[in-house]
Structure 1
């Protein structure tokens, strides 16, 4: 593997527990330089916790074990002073609710220039000029006039663009977008997704996109990890997962997507709910909801194993490709247009 495609971030056996209850069960994950990785799954499956743990942002009651390496540098055992040189500078994170991330009593310009001062040492006229450039880059109209406005004077979509500008201030090598379009309407969602794709192409940074929206993931990501109950259950390229999902949970996510065109079909919901971390089944966590589950699944937990087609899968009774899987390819192609 060349230096250009080598791993930027490596996670090995990352585990997180709150008050003695394990919620993340040994995550192994690599993010390459410049790649776009999607994390999908229901609420509570551990998508956000994975990266909050990696950056040391979980509360003190959380117990974190395992290793997280940034180009060989171990972040899991690093002191706070070292982590502060990584957060914002090398790894930046934007969240789904910009209104709770922007300071309501500070002007927008000051918030961006503050990030520039901390991460790049820019002050005065140089910082203002760079802040205006970032505002223009993320699509804020008339940035010079709006530089001295407050967050409440911007729309929800513009606030999310400003959060992206703050995140880009440190010129990060990795941007983690934690459901950045959830609080936005459909039109603004599409604009933000286009912006993330454009920025990644222009800057060469890696992107981790956390979302419930499979369509959004297909638009900006090259590779996808599907998480369930604190574990990765399937991992592969966007094309692989959208054309032929193999894990019953991944298949269930696609079956629940309504189609706008074509014949009307009854949606197939995934029965039941995600188990509470205190009450996980002895075997596969998805077995109580899985149509393919056997007694073996109820007692033995499958490992995430590499498959002949290059994907990774944690299932002993995977879904076999069927003729009706073609509609998943159509969804993928329609989304990418």
Structure 2
């Protein structure tokens, strides 16, 4: 393995604009083979757009620039035929609402076997056998009897499992899970998380887990990137970010988490609102909401820079490690399990 292909996927200076309005401002991100990477942040920060852009799935009005490399092979600007080979075959994506992603007029078996035909050339009885194996793998009971059923005949949790089965049909090297547990109740959420953890261990695929749920991220991921207003503002291991967040925005996310242990305390919300992409501040996008803002922050956008402890940070006035470690409001222990 050469240094140029040490990572499975490399994003460099990835920018996206819609009708001239910039929504991604130069994303640099690596995904190593077999790792589980979490992507967190408020709605609209660019988590999903990053990977839709990487796969060429944004609408025609979107302008995408930068570099997206899969094992050193450039995808950004590649012809549609090249991207169609990558989607599903090398990189698969599952979405937060399976009911809008599954075809209601085709049986589940038909949809999975179509994916197998496209990505692995399997047809007939061989495709059906493999489809049943995938349904069993993701925990669909009595798969053979339910092979010819339709989407409306499955529960929400089972539909999400079927989406995962379809994503696995091409034996992808990377699975992108975009808010896969949002519409599910707590019990089913836990089952889907356990399923993703097990499948990653069994297949060796890399996983990008996009979520608002910091607890879920702590269970599934090894490394986390925090996004705000189209930029990555902090990146590090789960242990680093969950025990000692250094960016004020990351700390704000943890301060807003309710605790179920100990005495009741008022939550500490992040003041203000996410800025409109059309009217972003001149300097740091988080400056209007940050208690550590100075005049420098209001005029100079920070760069994402490596830190001594191995994480990356985009902040002129980060929280000192000693202070973060001794903060009165600690991260709930259940998130660190």
After TM superposition, is the score higher than 0.5? yes
Corresponding residue number in structure 1 for 2:236:
236
Deviation at 1:285, TM superposition (A): 0.0
1:332 and 1:184 map into 2 onto residues whose CA distance is: 19
In angstroms, what is the RMSD of aligned CA positions? 1.3
Q: In 1, are the aligned partners of 2:108 and 2:151 still within 8 Å (CA)? A: yes
Corresponding residue number in structure 1 for 2:327:
324
1:146 and 1:298 map into 2 onto residues whose CA distance is: 58
Provide, for residues 132-159 of structure 1, a one-character-per-residue CA deviation record: whole Å limited to 9, x for no partner. Answer: 0000000000000000000000000000
Counterpart check, 1:15 vs 2:18: no
Provide, for residues 82-101 of structure 1, a one-character-per-residue CA deviation record: whole Å limited to 9, x for no partner. Answer: 00100000000000000000
Counterpart check, 1:218 vs 2:190: no
1:267 and 1:67 map into 2 onto residues whose CA distance is: 40
2:144 and 2:110 map into 1 onto residues whose CA distance is: 13
Corresponding residue number in structure 2 for 1:274:
274
1:216 and 1:176 map into 2 onto residues whose CA distance is: 15
Q: In 1, are the aligned partners of 2:255 and 2:329 still within 8 Å (CA)? A: no
3-state SS of the aligned residue for 1:64?
strand
2:220 and 2:177 map into 1 onto residues whose CA distance is: 11
Consecutive unaligned residues of structure 2, counting only runs of 5 or more, are none
Counterpart check, 1:116 vs 2:116: yes
Deviation at 1:326, TM superposition (A): 7.5
* 4+ runs deviating over 6 angstroms: none
Corresponding residue number in structure 1 for 2:246:
246
Deviation at 1:19, TM superposition (A): 0.4
1:310 and 1:331 map into 2 onto residues whose CA distance is: 25
Aligned length: 333
1:263 and 1:285 map into 2 onto residues whose CA distance is: 34
Corresponding residue number in structure 2 for 1:152:
152
3-state SS of the aligned residue for 2:8?
strand
1:62 and 1:94 map into 2 onto residues whose CA distance is: 21
Corresponding residue number in structure 1 for 2:293:
293
Q: How does 1:1-337 map to 2 (within 5 A)?
A: 6-320=6-320, 321-324=324-327, 327-328=330-331, 330-333=333-336, 336=337
Change (3 A) 1:14 1:325: farther
3-state SS of the aligned residue for 1:308?
coil
3-state SS of the aligned residue for 2:232?
strand
Q: Normalized against structure 1, the TM-score is what?
A: 0.97
3-state SS of the aligned residue for 1:233?
strand
Q: In 1, are the aligned partners of 2:52 and 2:58 still within 8 Å (CA)? A: yes
Q: In 1, are the aligned partners of 2:93 and 2:176 still within 8 Å (CA)? A: yes
Provide, for residues 99-122 of structure 1, a one-character-per-residue CA deviation record: whole Å limited to 9, x for no partner. Answer: 000000000000000000000000
Q: In 1, are the aligned partners of 2:214 and 2:335 still within 8 Å (CA)? A: no
3-state SS of the aligned residue for 2:327?
helix
1:205 and 1:322 map into 2 onto residues whose CA distance is: 34
